[in-house]
Amino acid sequence: MKNTGEKIIEGALAFSGLITILTTLGIIWVLVSESFSFFQVVSVTDFLTDTEWTPLFTQKHYGILPLLTGTFLTTAIAILTAMPIGIAIAVYLSEYAPKNFRKSLKPALEVLAAVPTVVYGFFALTVVTPFLQNIIPDLGSFNALSAGLVMGIMIIPMISSLSEDALHALPKSLREASYGMGATRFQTAFKVAVPAASSGIIVSIILAVARAIGETMIVAIAAGQQPILTLDPRDAVETITAYIVQVSLGDVPHGSLAYKTIFAAGITLFIFTFVLNNISFWIKKKYQEKYD
């Protein structure tokens, strides 16, 4: 028999769980219903194939592609920056660094993730872009490159920290096997440890991609707000998130079609991050218990 105190605690815990689930369901409901009425006016084909996105202009076009390429471009730059650096840091920390150093450097790195993103945004706009303009003369003052690079710096700790966890969780016997065969540290790190921890490393990268896709402030500040279909990193671009901010802060009347575009854009974003999170969850589950 449970006593009443325990029952109350159990109820309270279940209630907090319920709130989270209800909120999520609420968000999905709003996204779906608002985009549903959007798609009654704009066809899905137009939405997916039109190459212009100009819902706020007189000549209206509702093609999501420019926002997708903008999102893709900044995310790709961010991941290309963060992945090699993040994995290198993880390998250094788990395979080379002395124990004490590892213990202090890891939290220090994680501070990077605690910097408010608006600070990163201004850093990209006022420091990185002017600096890069010395090297790349025709770089616009708003551009995908600096926004992507700075976003990459922001997500380095995500990749390095999770990848380091994955490497650190490998049994010592695996490294000993490699050293025992006459392998160097470098060979042991890259031929044994990294492949053995690959599922964890891949998960860290996928989560970082999801984070980069959803990142808003940096791109809204430093990448510009021009939905142009381009893959040139020197150009200004607009990402899905930046567009949503732009409209939410503007004076678009509630209920108008322009207003509903943010839900159509939002659900697109939601689908991407949802799929990515599920992939990482699936990988984690599938490969988790390889070493008991």
Partner 1 sequence: MKHIEANNVNAYYGENHVLKDISLTMKANTVTAFIGPSGCGKSTFLRCLNRMNDYIDSFRKEGDIFIEGKDIYDKKVRVEELRQKVGMVFQKPNPFPKTIFENVAYGLKIQGIKSKSVLEEAVEKSLKQAALWNEVKDSLHKSALSLSGGQQQRVCIARALAVEPSTLLMDEPASALDPISTAKIEDLIAELKENYTIVIVTHNMQQAARVSDKTAFFYMGNLIEYDKTKELFTNPKHERTENYITGRFG
- Note whether 169 binds partner 1 by CB under 8 A: no
In the bound state with partner 1, the residue whose beta carbon lies nearer, of 35 and 178, is 178
Which window, 65-73, 76-84, 175-183, 266-274, contacts partner 1 (CB under 8 A)?
A: 175-183
Q: How far is the CB of 281 from partner 1 (least distance, A)?
A: 21
- Note whether 10 binds partner 1 by CB under 8 A: no
Q: How far is the CB of 203 from partner 1 (least distance, A)?
A: 16
- Note whether 191 binds partner 1 by CB under 8 A: yes
Task: Tell me how far apart the alpha carbons of residues 236 and 141 are, in angstroms, rounded to a whole number.
Answer: 8
In the bound state with partner 1, the residue whose beta carbon lies nearer, of 254 and 290, is 290
Which window, 33-41, 77-85, 182-190, 218-226, contacts partner 1 (CB under 8 A)?
A: 182-190
In the bound state with partner 1, the residue whose beta carbon lies nearer, of 107 and 195, is 195
Which window, 3-11, 65-73, 180-188, 267-275, contacts partner 1 (CB under 8 A)?
A: 180-188
Binding mask 91-130 for partner 1 (x = CB under 8 A): -------xx-------------------------------
- Note whether 137 binds partner 1 by CB under 8 A: no
**C-alpha closest to that of 262 among 121, 22, 53:** 53
Q: How far is the CB of 285 from partner 1 (least distance, A)?
A: 17
- Note whether 213 binds partner 1 by CB under 8 A: no
CB-count exposure of residue 242 (10 Å: 0-12, 13-18, 19+): buried
- Binding-site size for partner 1 (CB under 8 A) equals 20
Among 195, 248, 250, 271, binds partner 1 (CB under 8 A): 195
Are residues 220 and 241 in contact, defined by beta-carbon separation less than 8 angstroms?
yes
Task: Tell me how far apart the alpha carbons of residues 70 and 230 are, in angstroms, rounded to a whole number.
Answer: 7
Task: Tell me how far apart the alpha carbons of residues 244 and 103 are, in angstroms, rounded to a whole number.
Answer: 40
- Note whether 179 binds partner 1 by CB under 8 A: yes
| Residues at the site binding partner 1, with contacts judged by CB under 8 A | 98-99, 171, 173-174, 176-184, 187, 191-192, 195-196, 290
